[in-house]
Amino acid sequence: MVKEGHGSGNEDHKSFNQFDVVQDYSDHHYAKTSPGKTTKDWAKTIQNEWKLLQRDLPESIYVRVYEDRIDLIRAAIVGPAGTPYHDGLFFFDVCFPPEYPRCPPKVYYHSGGLRLNPNLYESGKVCLSLLNTWWGSGCEKWSKSNSTMLQVLISIQGLVLNDKPYFNEPGYKNTVNTPVGEKHSMAYNQTAFVLSCKTMLYSLRNPPKHFETLVVHHFHERERAILDACSAYASGIIVGSSVRDGAKYACDKCFAGFKKSLDAHTELLAKELAKNRAQAPELKGDTPAADEIASTSLGQT
């Protein structure tokens, strides 16, 4: 099997490999699921998946596989820029069933009890045509010959965590580019961003095993960008748009409710990010003081 040095929660961020082999899988969602009766071909297929992930992962996706449970994977996906999920970390646990690749992998989303996307349920269910858990046809569905785990992860990042997730719902697709549809989409993005902030809090307080270092350093590096975005959105800048674009909402009741909720979560985030910064002492001097950041972010309305 493809192997690298064993990862741990204490590894230095600069050497935090995008792909690594680890041992302890005790907190994995599928830890108590028996691999069942497997074959050499099954193991070989997973070995090829490891090689593909190790070689071709994009920079914003991180994967850990398990030496003693090759049927399990954990992945962290960074929310794409230009979406309500920007700068967030989203974690997924994966299990390759004994029938793999005749059937797709099982994927569980660490939701923290939040529904921030039509395709990501509070229960952890991930709805994606490639997983045969969402409608689709032809090449959109899982293919035992052509589909891969890498493709699943990239699809989640690009197709699920997109800039207008409201239209992920099949019933709303016919309202794309209509005044009503776009208004609902912007309101959905407001809610999605607040829930993304909640997810950040959840990840900071409960980092998944083997990703502790990634969580600390990712949020340390993105602290200013996250709080600046919160401040900009609270001033009326449309969620997901560039601050420099200057596009703003109409000052209606919908925005007023969003601003109140966002301000409350920004204050919580500022405090939690300050605690997080203390865990990255080697980078401590690179960012402003906590009270400076908090006052800057909360003071702009």
Active site amino acids: 127
Euclidean distance between CA atoms 90 and 258, whole angstroms: 22
Euclidean distance between CA atoms 25 and 74, whole angstroms: 9
Euclidean distance between CA atoms 151 and 145, whole angstroms: 13
